[in-house]
Amino acid sequence: MAGLEENEPEPAAQRADPHGDPFLRTRFAVPARPTVFLRRERLGRHLDHALLTPLTMVNGAAGAGKTVLVADWAAGLDRPVAWLTTDAADQGPGTFWAYLLQSLRASGVPLSAGVGSPADAGRVDHTLLTRLATELSALDPPVIVVIDEYDRVRAPEISEQLEFLLHHAAQGIRLILVSRTEPLLPLHRHRAAGDMTEIRNAELAFTAEEAAVLLERHGLSPPSHAVHALVERTRGWAAGLRLCALAAQQSPDPETYLKEFEAEHTPAADFLLAEVLGRQSAETQDLLLRVSVLDRFCPDLANALTERTDAEPLLAGLRQENAFVEYLGHTWYRLHPLFGEILRAHLRVRSPGLEPVLHRRAAGWLRRRGYLVETLGHAAAAGDWEFTAAALVDDLAIGRIFTGLSTEDLAALFARMGPEATGPCADLVRAACELSRRDLDRGLTHLRHAERSLAGDGAASAAARLSCALLQALAARLTGSPRKAELAAEAAEKLRAEVPAHLLDEHAELTALLLTHLGSARLWAGRFEEARAALSTVAGSRGSASTALPREDSLARLGLIDYLDGWPGRAERKALAAQAETERFSLTQPSASGIERLVLAAVAVDRDELARAEALLDAAADSHPGMRDPVLEAGRAVTTARLLLARGRTRAALEAAKPAVSADVDSPWAQGQAALVASAVHLAEGRPETAAALLGSLADGQVACAVGAARARLAAGRPAEAIDLLDRAHPAGRAGPAVTVRAALVRAQAADAAGDTATSRRLLAQALREARPERLRRPFLEAGPWIRRFMDSAPLRQLAAGWLTLGPPPHGGLPRPEDRLPRVVEELSGRERDVLRRLARMMSTEEIAVDLYVSVNTVKTHLKSLYRKLAVNRRSDAVRRARELGLL
* pLDDT tens-digit readout, 606-620: 999 998 899 888 878
- Please check whether residue 312 is in contact with residue 346, taking contact to mean a CB–CB distance below 8 angstroms: no
Average pLDDT over residues 746-772: 94
Q: How confident is the model at residue 265 (pLDDT cuts 50, 70, 90)?
A: low
- As a 3-state breakdown, the chain gives helix, strand, coil percent values, each rounded to 5, of 65, 5, 30
Average pLDDT over residues 814-839: 61
Residue 322 has pLDDT above 90, yes or no: no
Question: What pLDDT is stored for residue 6 in this prediction?
Answer: 35
Cα angle 189-194-195, degrees, rounded to a multiple of 5 = 80
Question: What pLDDT is stored for residue 9 in this prediction?
Answer: 43
Average pLDDT over residues 534-553: 90
> Distance between CA 657 and CA 462 in Å, rounded?
44
Average pLDDT, the chain: 86
Note the pTM of the prediction, 2 decimals.
0.65
When comparing pLDDT for 453 and 202, which is higher? 453
Average pLDDT over residues 786-807: 83
When comparing pLDDT for 583 and 711, which is higher? 711
> Distance between CA 237 and CA 247 in Å, rounded?
16
Average pLDDT over residues 368-373: 93
> Distance between CA 346 and CA 329 in Å, rounded?
28
Residue 184 has pLDDT above 90, yes or no: no
- Rounded to a whole number of angstroms, the distance between the first and last alpha carbons of the chain is 81
List alpha helices for 685-756, DSSP H: 688-696, 703-715, 719-729, 737-753
- Please check whether residue 380 is in contact with residue 416, taking contact to mean a CB–CB distance below 8 angstroms: yes
Report how far apart, in Å, the C-alpha atoms of 523 and of each of 516, 652, 664, 669, 873 are.
10, 27, 14, 9, 45
Percent residues over pLDDT 90 in the chain: 55
> Distance between CA 657 and CA 650 in Å, rounded?
11
Question: What pLDDT is stored for residue 762 in this prediction?
Answer: 96
- Looking from the CA of 778 toward its CB, the CA atoms found within 13 Å total 24
DSSP state of 206: P
Average pLDDT over residues 517-523: 97
Summarize pLDDT for 396-450 with one digit per residue, the tens. Answer: 999 999 886 678 889 899 999 999 999 999 999 999 999 988 889 999 999 999 9
Residue 589 has pLDDT above 70, yes or no: no
- Please check whether residue 65 is in contact with residue 211, taking contact to mean a CB–CB distance below 8 angstroms: no
Q: How confident is the model at residue 814 (pLDDT cuts 50, 70, 90)?
A: very low
Report how far apart, in Å, the C-alpha atoms of 215 and of each of 223, 230, 256, 698 are.
11, 11, 14, 85
Average pLDDT over residues 743-761: 94
Q: How confident is the model at residue 858 (pLDDT cuts 50, 70, 90)?
A: confident
Pairing of strands 173-179, 55-59: parallel
Cα angle 760-767-713, degrees, rounded to a multiple of 5 = 60
List alpha helices for 772-810, DSSP H: 778-783, 788-791, 794-800
Residue 5 has pLDDT above 50, yes or no: no
- Sheet containing 196-199: order of strands: 81-85, 143-148, 173-179, 55-59, 196-199
Question: What pLDDT is stored for residue 414 in this prediction?
Answer: 93
Beta-bridge partners for 173: 143
Question: What pLDDT is stored for residue 345 in this prediction?
Answer: 85
Print burial letters for 730-748: b (CB count within 10 Å at least 16), e (below 16).
ebeeebbbbbbbbbbbbbb
Residue 822 has pLDDT above 60, yes or no: no
Question: What pLDDT is stored for residue 268 in this prediction?
Answer: 63
CB atoms within 10 A of CB 324: 19
- List the one residue out of 781, 502, 761 whose CA is nearest residue 646: 781
CB atoms within 10 A of CB 810: 11
Question: What pLDDT is stored for residue 267 in this prediction?
Answer: 56
Question: What pLDDT is stored for residue 2 in this prediction?
Answer: 40
- Please check whether residue 556 is in contact with residue 575, taking contact to mean a CB–CB distance below 8 angstroms: yes
**Where are any strands of DSSP class E within 580-734?**
none
When comparing pLDDT for 821 and 294, which is higher? 294
Residue 61 has pLDDT above 70, yes or no: no
- Please check whether residue 23 is in contact with residue 170, taking contact to mean a CB–CB distance below 8 angstroms: no
Residue 319 has pLDDT above 70, yes or no: yes
> Distance between CA 62 and CA 55 in Å, rounded?
21
Question: What pLDDT is stored for residue 801 in this prediction?
Answer: 85
Helices and strands in the chain, H and E counts: 46, 7
> Distance between CA 30 and CA 7 in Å, rounded?
19
Report how far apart, in Å, the C-alpha atoms of 821 and of each of 782, 806, 817, 876, 881 are.
13, 5, 10, 20, 11
Question: What pLDDT is stored for residue 7 in this prediction?
Answer: 36
Question: What pLDDT is stored for residue 765 in this prediction?
Answer: 95
Report how far apart, in Å, the C-alpha atoms of 104 and of each of 28, 57, 83, 109, 267 are.
9, 19, 8, 5, 43
Residue 252 has pLDDT above 90, yes or no: no
Task: Show Cβ contacts of residue 301 under 8 Å, excluding neighbours closer than 6 positions.
Answer: 291, 294, 362, 365, 366
SS3 143: strand
> Distance between CA 136 and CA 127 in Å, rounded?
14
Average pLDDT over residues 830-839: 86
When comparing pLDDT for 793 and 91, which is higher? 793
In total, the chain counts a number of residues equal to 888
Does residue 31 have a cis peptide bond before it, meaning omega lies within 30 degrees of 0?
A: no
Rounded to 5 degrees, φ, ψ at 180 are -85, -25
- List the one residue out of 319, 322, 288 whose CA is nearest residue 305: 288
